[in-house]
């Protein structure tokens, strides 16, 4: 069995019959140039990862105990603009771009959950999660991977918009 190279919080919960769910706190990604951990009471565990420059890249490794088709949820901070974003890759494959987007009431400065459009088939075993910042001031709090298509993280709104995908 491969030794995990970073100590990230990966909890396996049961979200429904046959469903698997993983949570990763973004502040637990390894330290890397262009990223800083900051503190905010409204963030999960009180901490989040802030990206400080365009193109900054960081990866972490975790283990998937069971194969399945997973949806990726990201808790990110929106300023209601269109500039603070980052791309997430799972095992080298682009899953989506997350970050700033318009809010229902037009007010920024809030944490939001956003989900990938497509599910990713992941085999049991090592999973590499990579973030590539597209700008300064992108903030990610937490990532959830779930096989439950109907799952919504606590605190998400019903009209969560799904974000653009890259091929």
Strand partners, 71: 146
State which of residues 10, 20, 25, 64 lies at the interface with Ca ion (CB under 5 A). 25
Q: Which residues contact 25 (CB under 8 A, 6 or more apart)?
A: 8, 9, 44, 45, 47, 141, 142
Dist. CA 114–CA 127, nearest whole Å: 20
Strands, DSSP E only, in the chain? 21-25, 35-39, 47-51, 57-64, 68-78, 85-90, 93-99, 110-115, 120-122, 125-133, 138-146
Residue 44 is a binding residue for Ca ion (CB under 5 A): yes
Strand partners, 35: 51
Dist. CA 160–CA 114, nearest whole Å: 6
| Ranges within 45-64 binding Ca ion (CB under 5 A) | 45, 47-48
Size of the site for Ca ion (CB under 5 A): 8
Q: Considering only 5-13, 40-48, 80-88, 124-132, which stretch makes contact with Ca ion by CB under 5 A? A: 40-48
Q: How far is the CB of 73 from Ca ion (least distance, A)?
A: 13
State which of residues 141, 145, 146, 163 lies at the interface with Ca ion (CB under 5 A). 141
Residue 39 is a binding residue for Ca ion (CB under 5 A): no
Q: Considering only 25-33, 84-92, 125-133, 150-158, which stretch makes contact with Ca ion by CB under 5 A? A: 25-33
Q: Considering only 32-40, 50-58, 134-142, 144-152, which stretch makes contact with Ca ion by CB under 5 A? A: 134-142
Query: 68 or 133, CB closer to Ca ion?
Result: 133
**Beta strands across the sheet bearing 93-99:** 57-64, 125-133, 85-90, 93-99
Closest residue by beta carbon to Ca ion: 44
Binding site for Ca ion (CB under 5 A): 25, 43-45, 47-48, 141-142
């Amino acid at each position: 069995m491969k030794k995990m190279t970073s100590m990230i919080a990966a909890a396996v919960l049961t979200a429904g019959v046959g469903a698997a769910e993983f949570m990763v706190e973004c502040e637990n990604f390894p330290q890397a140039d262009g990223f800083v951990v900051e503190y905010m009471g409204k963030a999960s565990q009180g901490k989040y990862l802030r990206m400080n420059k365009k193109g900054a890249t960081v990866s972490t490794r975790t283990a998937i105990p069971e194969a399945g088709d997973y949806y990726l949820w990201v808790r990110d901070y929106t300023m209601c603009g269109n500039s603070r974003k980052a791309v997430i890759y799972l095992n080298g494959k682009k899953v989506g771009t997350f970050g700033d987007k318009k809010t229902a009431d037009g007010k920024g400065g809030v944490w939001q959950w956003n989900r990938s459009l497509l599910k990713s088939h992941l085999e049991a075993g090592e999973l590499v999660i990579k973030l590539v910042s597209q700008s300064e001031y992108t903030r990610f709090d937490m990532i959830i991977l779930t096989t439950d298509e109907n799952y919504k993280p606590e605190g998400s709104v019903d009209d969560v918009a799904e974000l653009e995908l890259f091929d």
